[in-house]
Chains A and B, each alone.
Chain A
Amino acid sequence: MSQEKLVEVKNLKQHFKLGRNNVVKAVDGLTFDIYKGETFGLVGESGCGKSTTGRSIIRLYNSTDGEVLFKGDNVQGKKNKSELKKFNRQMQMIFQDPYSSLNPRMTVMDIIAEGIDIHGLAKNAEERKAKVYELLETVGLNKEHASRYPHEFSGGQRQRLGIARALAVDPEFIIADEPISALDVSIQAQVVNLMKKLQKEKGLTYLFIAHDLSMVKYISDRIGVMYFGKLVELADAEELYKNPIHPYTRSLLSAIPLPDPIYERNRKRIVYDPSQHDTSEEPEFREISPKHWVLCTTKEFEAYKKEQQNTVTN
């Protein structure tokens, strides 16, 4: 994995106004980088702002504050048509619900070729067809499927169509917003295997948003944990699971049910109590050990650090 930054999110804020005196701070000051070729996992409970983050990065929302840089260029802000076109080709999204994200009145051929048409990537009808067939094969479907409509496919197959559509314009960066949550267990594994394979072949970079922590751990290189619009912890996937520091991360990890009856019988659930933090000081995002960041106050920082040293020496 290179250390070249593909996406830089700087102090991103996305607030939604609900009436006069009511503002929902869905995303509140998020800062992180996504390196080229990696999979960055974003986890958290529903309502923590993880999907909003993904949507702000791809410009589906105009952010309230902060900026998102893609290869050094600001994603947000005014853009003319050709700039927008150029940007849209580089970044694509796979949505959660494979039932509502495909137009039921378009054939698979037209759904997948939509991006190809907009960006003029095919010189003639022949080439367009060939490209769609190739994409279908890439995602494990075949060319007979091109003339069908979305309702003729199962959930897992539809999600493959969603992936094929995202790949059609040769993007570098794909945001996958809960791409497997709506699928059955056995089908989830198929889609995840496919995404991993494509990443290897095409050098894609993923932002993988999900609430299923074991799957996120499996697919991601680094993971960010979100709680109420803020990142509370960020670390390499392995490190985060072996050595979670923030109490919220710990409670989240302790809540994952594992298919292991004896472990489950002895499981100790950790309950997160937000009031345990010292509120007199605004917490900051600090680096506890190399590449492991935690949201904490100065006092907590010292305590966490001490704890860290103890675990290392033991």
Chain B
Amino acid sequence: MDRLLEVNDLHVSFNTYSGEVQAVRGVNFHLNKGETLAIVGESGSGKSVTTKALMGLLPKPHGFIKQGSITFDNTDISKMKDKDLQKIRGKEIAMIFQDPMTSLNPTLKVGTQIMEGLIKHQGMGKADARNKAIELMNLVQIPNPEARMKQYPHQFSGGMRQRVVIAMALACNPRVLIADEPTTALDVTIQAQILDLMKDIQKKVNTSIIFITHDLGVVANIADRVAVMYAGKIVETGTVDEVFYNPKHPYTWGLLGSMPTLESDEEELFAIPGTPPDLIAPPKGDAFAARNRFALEIDFVEEPPMFKVSDTHYAATWLLHEDAPKIEPPASVKRRIESMDHSEEATRS
């Protein structure tokens, strides 16, 4: 398979008054051509910081890449100069942000904002850029694009604004699209529309997408592969089916268990106790150990390596070690997976 982007042992830190916050602590992943990789995790798990590092958008000088490499198209972009990076950013790798209101300029017409990238990166003339912008607005299904181009962002609804942002991101046919919680600020019905739109566009223009979210439902909808992040590390990665139907890491169990199913009538949700660790002084051993009811003694001493479950499925938990006691996922998570198996049979028959 074609690897478009590869991240190796990425460490990102921030200097603050109280010390160095190690937001990302050794992340490895890759992105294949035409696929969607979802990165899930709680706030503070380092998922946004990882993608900001990819785009060279870390706030300087207190945010910096401490270690590791980001290979895009056989070049390491993590050590590139800003000037060279500008040629890639927006053109080869584009980004969609969470809040469409703050990522659009309120004083510029929407059309101007979509045309900006075309004129800058593609060297288009104004008339060409205008036509292309209309084409893009059609692609993201904004009705009546000629008139809408002349309007300002405040005249658009939340869902329509996000479509504008997607149109801007797609302007230069990027090979990688990074979407940082693009649907979190939207209503469920609008969210469903935007997700359908993104899948549709991906089919048409064949970009790879890195999709950041904390919503596992959204992940199941859009992703081909999933990486679960916790405290600056990827703790489990695999195809969607592997991670949802055969989760191995207790943190993944916790995430799945803390969402109620529509069928469930359980008295209590399987909540993960406590709060995420302080990344100024990350705990010794497994960062999740303190909140993990299945933690082994070794979890507090040594960090688990990535254990292989299948060729595509890996998880960083000592439970997968051959000497570890056999521990089954908690009952509520098992029931959830079993109930999903029924849906599998139903769709097959």
B260 contacts the other chain (CB 8 A): yes
Q: Chain A's nearest CB lies how many Å from the CB of B107?
A: 23
Which residues of B from 335 to 349 have beta carbons under 8 Å from A? 340, 343-344, 347
> What 15 additional pairs, Cβ within 8 angstroms, besides A186-B255, A188-B258, A213-B188?
A45-B187, A154-B275, A185-B215, A186-B254, A193-B268, A193-B271, A211-B188, A214-B260, A217-B262, A218-B269, A258-B262, A262-B241, A264-B220, A264-B221, A269-B196
A184 contacts the other chain (CB 8 A): yes
Q: How many of chain B's residues touch chain A, expressed as a range?
A: 35 or more
CB < 8 Å: which of B195, B219, B256, B264 contacts A218? B264
Q: Please, how many angstroms separate the alpha-carbon atoms of A42 and B275 in the complex?
A: 29
Q: Please, how many angstroms separate the alpha-carbon atoms of A263 and B347 in the complex?
A: 8
Given the known A-B contacts A154-B275, A262-B343, are A252 and B268 also in contact in the complex, defined by CB atoms under 8 Å?
no
With most chain B CB atoms within 10 A of its CB, the pick from A154, A184, A215 is: A184
Q: Chain A's nearest CB lies how many Å from the CB of B335?
A: 13
A77 contacts the other chain (CB 8 A): no
Q: Please, how many angstroms separate the alpha-carbon atoms of A254 and B254 in the complex?
A: 25
A189 touches B343 (CB 8 A): no
A218 touches B260 (CB 8 A): yes
CB < 8 Å: which of A218, A257, A258 contacts B191? A257
A54 contacts the other chain (CB 8 A): no
A215 touches B244 (CB 8 A): no
B271 touches A211 (CB 8 A): no
Smallest CB gap from B183: residue in A = A257
**Residue positions of A touching B, CB distance < 8 A:** 45-46, 154, 156-157, 184-190, 192-193, 196, 211, 213-215, 217-218, 241, 251-252, 254-264, 266-267, 269, 272
**Residue positions of B touching A, CB distance < 8 A:** 42-43, 158, 187-192, 195-196, 214-221, 240-241, 244-245, 254-262, 264, 267-273, 275, 340, 343-344, 347
Q: Please, how many angstroms separate the alpha-carbon atoms of A252 and B216 in the complex?
A: 18
Q: Please, how many angstroms separate the alpha-carbon atoms of A184 and B347 in the complex?
A: 32
A272 touches B260 (CB 8 A): no
Q: Please, how many angstroms separate the alpha-carbon atoms of A87 and B219 in the complex?
A: 45
Q: Please, how many angstroms separate the alpha-carbon atoms of A255 and B192 in the complex?
A: 6
CB < 8 Å: which of B42, B259, B267, B271 contacts A214? B259
A259 touches B244 (CB 8 A): yes
Q: Chain B's nearest CB lies how many Å from the CB of A120?
A: 36
Smallest CB gap from B188: residue in A = A255
A256 touches B217 (CB 8 A): yes
CB < 8 Å: which of B217, B257, B344, B347 contacts A257? B217
